[in-house]
Structure 1
């Protein structure tokens, strides 16, 4: 009888321990990027690097993770603002071939929704100025834009108005794509630092940013990840002091 009671108590203890371990593990599981967001990291990174073979794998993985065709198209289109038309176009052409191959295998991928029309009665520059100010947390100005006002107009009107103003990809996804591309390009730490800040402004957590860097390390390269880690740590330190 005593042995039965002891066995029952042991079973109850193990069950409680198991439940506690699971509950403690869950925040770690859910604090990082989800599978779709990790897909955006590799798609943006390999597009920026021009590595079409690995991009092809990333595109398949992104679709399998639940990214829609239009979400991936939007990421690839946005990439031209950061790595140029040639690599964006190469990425789009690679995506077209991936979709054809998947269709031939009988795989039907979700198309997803198109972007809504931009607000009527508002110019791209007006919309972009609002979006940029919201993302950065303050109006953006500086000597660079005074020296070359055209680039200020293009950033506000085209990047933040015409591109970021499209609503079929949320700001967090756009920032994940941008950060991943900049980290993979190299030599653009000022912009990488700015977008780490913007990413956190739109609700991405420190844990998600660190997870993004981990994805870069495991899938893209240690050099890119080490540099991104250094930039991110400085951003976190700066934000902590405020």
Structure 2
């Protein structure tokens, strides 16, 4: 059952989306389906579930409204996410990560909206959980690229390669060193939450279907179930934007077919 407090989202409009950047620009050399274990905010990854928690449901909604620059609905989503147990630092981390997919302007504007929400809630006497900062020691130089390449390979199910990266190899270096090295190595947000955020942002982004399909597969590799991803699409459809929900649903169907070898 989807949390009832998300019903407020349908009252506002939906804006345009941003250029996406992430895995999916080229296919990995293999489609592994096993669950992977990576740096998490917990000692072990959560068990596979058939439903998303209210906290998890809030993450793709935040991401989709951020990617669409829909500040009124983002404000509501952030309030509901904090009510559902997302910590302030987790919300910050979601919005910081998404600059790699939606751009710095949207990320900065969304972080400004989060600050407004947190300040307003504090004035009303609401004591939100701050949450831990990242304590991971991020390597530098060649060690950073190696660590990011390992994370990218594990999440993607195989080495990410192809004609596009042969044409512009520097973009994959940036992906490996920064997105999968600097950002995904931070341990105050688990990989499931990071993928929920990425899928939400990409679903709100027209013409990012290839990346969305890739991140659907990645979401299952980090332990999210197909049932949870169907629920994500339903949440976007009913409480976000119907087009985003439709993109997510189609991408999941296609990802499952690819993983099944069809």
1:134 is aligned to 2:154: yes
8 Å Cα contact 2:138/2:182 also seen in 1: no
**TM-score, normalised by the number of residues in structure 2:** 0.78
Further displaced range: 230-239 or 185-194: 230-239
For the pair 1:103 / 2:128, whether they are aligned, the reply is no
- Assess, with a 3 A threshold, how the Cα gap between structure 1 residues 101 and 221 changes in structure 2: closer, same or farther: same
Equivalent position SS for 2:204: helix
Structure 2: stretches of 5+ with no match in the other structure = 1-48
1:221 Cα deviation (Å)? 1.6
Which structure is higher in helix share? 1
| Change in CA separation of 1:77 and 1:120 when aligned onto 2, cut-off 3 Å | closer
Distance 2:137 2:217 in 1: 26
State the SS of the aligned residue for 1:118.
coil
Give structure 1 regions of 4+ aligned residues with deviation exceeding 3 angstroms.
Answer: 119-122
3-state SS in 2 of match to 1:241:
coil
* Counterpart in the other structure of 2:107: 88
How many angstroms apart in 2 are the aligned matches of 1:116 and 1:138?
28
Q: Is the 8 A contact 2:138 2:144 kept in 1?
A: no
Q: Write the distance in 1 (CA, Å) between the matches of 2:146 and 2:260.
A: 32
Mind listing any 5+ residue stretches in structure 1 that lack a counterpart? 1-29
Higher RCO (CA 8 Å, separation ≥ 6 residues): 2
User: Residue 256 of structure 2 aligns to a residue in which SS?
Assistant: helix
Q: CA deviation at 1:32?
A: 1.5
Q: Which residue of 1 aligns with 2:25?
A: none
Pairwise CA RMSD of aligned residues?
A: 1.4
* 1:123 has 2:143 as partner: yes
1:120 deviates by: 4.8
